[in-house]
Amino acid sequence: MLILALTSLLAPLLCFALLAVVEPLRRRGRLAGRLSALVAVSSFAAAARVAWMVLVDGADPVTWTVHWLVHEGQGFAPVGIHIDGISASMLAVVTLVAACVQVYSLGYMADEPPAAQGRYFAWHSLFIVAMGLLVLAPDLLQLFLGWELVGLCSYLLIGFYWRKPSAGKAAVKAFWVTKFADMGLLLGIIALFGATGTMSWEHPPAGIWALVVPALLFVGVMGKSAQVPLHIWLPDAMEGPTPVSALLHAATMVAAGVFLVVRAYPLFEAAPAMLTFMAWLGAITALVAAVTAVVQDDIKKVLAYSTCSQLGYMVAALGSGHLMGGYFHLTTHAFFKALLFLGAGAAIHAVHSNSIFDMGGLWRKTPVGAALFIVGALALAGVPGFAGFFSKDLILEELLHAGHLGPLLLLVVSAGLTAFYMTRVVAIAFFGEPGARAAHAHEAPWIMLAPMALLGMLALVGGFGGGLLAEAWGQEYHFAVTPVGVVTTLFGLAGIGVGVVRYGTRTWTGLTLDGLRGFILSGPVDRFWDSAWRRGLLPVARMVGWFDRYVVDGLMNLVAVAVLKLGAGVRRLQTGRAQDYVFAVVVGALLFLAYGVVGG
Amino acid sequence: MTTTAGLAAGPGLHAWLLLAAVLFCIGIYGVLSRRNLVAILCSVELMANAVNINLVAFSRFHGDLLGQAFALFSVALTVAEVGIGLAIVILVYRARKGIDVDELDLLRG
């Protein structure tokens, strides 16, 4: 089992090293892509076997660590592999989506220059390694390492179209915002180490640290998992290629924050106030992002805000004190949101535009792609039977049990909004009046449709895997019809109904809320950070800069100038004329003489 | 101080030492103030002869001829020194077209 897990980790590493070092291979983009996709598929095969052994055969958890950084006879930061139900299932999900996305990329990126393709697949392989390091980490230090590496891959892949200034800006923005949050994570790990002397998540610290440590860790989670108000980088990250958005910014990397909370849950459990905060923040994120998604015209932006919103569900679920719901939603969301992004990518590939109004009427041109997208949309909307329905239902159930009624209410409303905005996208992009660019659209090649079909299957039946996933905690999961579930489903169906009436039939033109639309589109949270940066951070930075330039540097310069002046003065003594030296000798001799006469 | 009958008529030791000191100071003054290399060499000669006078004076008043022998050696050495010195002066003159010491300041810092 250990060998298998190592294989799924090291194979992509080898592939990345090969593509990075052997330039001719990288420059032959298609070959590099095929190699990378093959490695990703085999990596998934190994990870799936591990997950099967743990979840179905009930193999015991395995930890294999290498001790380094030895201090007083024992290593305090072990690096290695920790396989249990959580990490095995997460690794399987990550590698599955990665494999699907890489195969899909073979078709999607086919028109790019070969060298660019090689670069793209090299970074994809690196991402699988980084995510594997994160998922299989035996302690927080290695998790942090993987966390930063996936952040690096995210930065590189968002900026893939680096000739576009907006892509470069988006990459830098994602980097800065997540790095800002990662400082919290790092401080949290340091605080944990200071308080308990280990970086393991199993022993919560005592006293005030019990609250401080999870609070700091959660700042990192807010950045990575795009929680309000640190979600601003995720919509901009859509500048990257669409498969990247599917893998990193929908299915796996952004879920790393949720995974961290699941993994380090003993630390969070020790701080009930933190859990309540998570429930509320997650619910607020879910609602705010859902409202924002309603007014977007860019199909990827809709999906990006939808991702924020669904991550909000997961965080809120973890705040309820039960892990299963949030983690379950993480896996189902990985499937159907990756599917949605790949479907959006196929549509973008067909019409060469991101706007849903340019796509209009794609149903007739690309029936298979449209059908698969609709499957994803139904799963996201929480229609009974689809994957998203079960996990969302479990989340709401858990929140009800924990007594978090406020967050519960927000999430139920968000569920209605989710169904509404997805209906809007589907109605306009696939059924609306044909857009100007949609006339020459054609179906995506099979190499793109096949991975979508696989993810579509999982979006259809993934919900029935809940029982399997519950094994990770040794629990059982049975679906039951409950009042909360019924109400939420009704909200969802109502959302679909309103969407169909509003955008499908075009008979209803009342209530457009243009003011609200304008306010949301102006990016209030972005403006908040912008002014916080301008008014808060910048003056402080200027002050520090002034102190450094004039006081610290000034002192240094003063010493230097004094030495220079002194040297120039001493230099004038050296006239080079022998007579002057003789004069000095004579004066010296006279002084000695005077000393002998007076003092002696 | 040994005093003998023959010496009583002439000036005392102090007078000779005073003469030597005056000569030496004149020499120093010359070395420090003259700008002509040859004049400086002459001044050095004055200082050397002041030393010789000291040697001879002490020799005479101590009744020990060794001092006078030293003075003779000193004169011979001074001659050699002047020979070398003048040779240097000639070389300097050839190289720099002048023997003004104020011009010789290649070591200026």
Min Cα–Cα distance to chain A from B42, Å: 15
- Minimal Cβ distance to A571: which of B31, B105, B109: B109
**Confidence at residue A105, expressed as pLDDT on a 0 to 100 scale:** 93
The pLDDT of residue B71 is: 94
In this prediction, residue B48 carries a pLDDT of 93
Residues from chain A that touch B96, judged by Cβ atoms under 8 A, are: none
* Residue in chain B nearest A577 by alpha carbon: B105
- B88-91: list long-range contacts, CB under 8 Å, 24+ apart: B89/B37, B89/B38, B89/B41
Q: Which amino acid is at A592?
A: F
Helix (H/G/I), strand (E/B), else coil: A476 = coil
Confidence (pLDDT) at A223: 92
CB contact under 8 A, B107 and A586: no
CA distance A279 to A407: 6
Give contacts of A576 with chain B, Cβ < 8 Å: 104-109
Contact A580, B32 (CB under 8 A): no
Q: What is the pLDDT of residues A55-90, one digit of tens each?
A: 888 888 888 888 777 777 676 778 889 998 899 999
B32/A586 CB distance under 8 A: yes
Cα distance between the two ends of chain A: 96
Residues 40-69 of chain B with CB under 8 A from chain A are none
Q: Which of B31, B32, B106 sits opposite A576 (nearest CB)?
A: B106
- Reduced DSSP (H G I as helix, E B as strand, rest coil) percent helix, strand, coil of chain B, to 5: 75, 0, 25
Record: contact A577-B28, CB cut-off 8 A: no
- Nearest-CA distance A597 → chain B (Å): 16
Mark yes or no for CB contact B106/A578 under 8 Å: no
Q: How far apart are CA A28 and CA A114, in angstroms?
A: 5
Instruction: Give pTM, 2 decimals.
Output: 0.77
pLDDT digits (tens, 9 = 90+) for A176-228: 899 999 999 999 999 998 888 888 888 888 888 999 999 999 999 999 999 98
Residue of A579, A581, A585, A593 for testing the chain B interface, max B β-carbons within 10 Å: A579
Q: Which residues of B99-109 are buried (b: 16+ CB within 10 A; e: fewer)?
A: bebeebeeeee
Closest CA–CA distance from residue B49 to any residue of chain A (Å): 18
How far off is chain B from A568, nearest CA to CA, in Å?
9
Buried b (16+ CB within 10 A) or exposed e, A139-148: bbbbbbbbbb
> Which of A572, A577, A583 faces B104 most closely, judged by CB atoms?
A577
Mutation test of the interface with chain A: which of B24, B26, B31, B47, choosing the one with the most A Cβ atoms within 10 A?
A: B31
How far is A143 from A121, CA to CA, in rounded Å? Answer: 23
Instruction: Pull the structure tokens for residue A407.
Output: 């967050």
**Least Cα separation, residue B79 to chain A (angstroms):** 22
Chain A residues within an 8 Å CB radius of B32: 579, 582-583, 586
- Tell whether B25 lies on the interface with A, counting CB pairs under 8 A: no
Residue contact A573–B109, C-beta within 8 A? yes
- Nearest Cβ partner for B101 among A572, A579, A586: A579
Mean pLDDT by 10 residues, chain A (600 residues): 88 92 87 92 94 87 82 75 91 94 92 90 94 92 93 93 91 91 94 87 88 93 91 90 92 92 91 92 93 89 93 93 89 93 91 84 85 92 88 90 90 91 89 75 87 92 81 76 84 85 65 70 81 85 92 94 93 85 92 88
The pLDDT score that the predictor gives to residue A137 is 92
A576–B31 C-beta distance less than 8 A = no
Residue-level pLDDT at A600: 65
Cβ of residue B92 closer than 8 Å to a chain A Cβ: no
- Interface size A-B, in CB pairs within 8 Å, comes to 30
Does any CB of chain B come closer than 8 Å to the CB of residue A576?
Answer: yes
Q: Which of A574, A583, A586 has the CB atom closest to B108's CB atom? A: A574
Contacts of B109 in chain A (CB under 8 A): 571-576
- Check CB contact of A575 with chain B, cutoff 8 Å: yes
* Residue A480 at interface with chain B, using a CB cutoff of 8 Å: no
Q: Which domains does chain B have, with CATH numbers?
A: 13-102 (1.10.287.3510)
> Nearest-CA residue of chain A relative to B31?
A579
Tokens of A164: 């576009």
* Cα(A209)–Cα(A274) distance, integer angstroms: 12
A568 has a chain B CB within 8 A of its CB: no
Q: Which of A572, A573, A586 sits opposite B28 (nearest CB)?
A: A586
CA distance A314 to A308: 10
How does pLDDT run across A147-177, given as a tens digit for each residue?
999 999 999 999 999 889 999 999 999 998 9
| Each residue's pLDDT tens digit, B72-105 | 999 999 999 999 999 999 999 999 888 888 888 8
Which chain A residue has the Cα nearest residue B102? A577
Task: State how far the Cα of A112 lies from the Cα of A123, in Å rounded to an integer.
Answer: 15
Residues of chain A in contact with residue B31, where contact means CB-CB under 8 angstroms, are 579, 582
Nearest to A582 among B31, B104, B109 (CB): B31
Pairing state of beta strands A70-71 and A74-75?
antiparallel
Using an 8 Å CB-CB cutoff, list chain A residues near B104: 576-578
Is residue A174 within 8 Å of A235, Cβ to Cβ?
Answer: no
Is the CB of B101 less than 8 angstroms away from the CB of A577? yes
Name the amino acid, one letter, at A398: E
Any residues with CB less than 8 A from the CB of B83 and at least 6 apart, and which? Answer: none
Q: Tell whether A579 is within 8 A of chain B (Cβ).
A: yes
Calculate how close chain A gets to B34, using CA atoms only, in Å.
Answer: 9
What does the pLDDT read at residue B1?
A: 46
| Partner residue facing A575 (CB), from B28, B31, B108 | B108
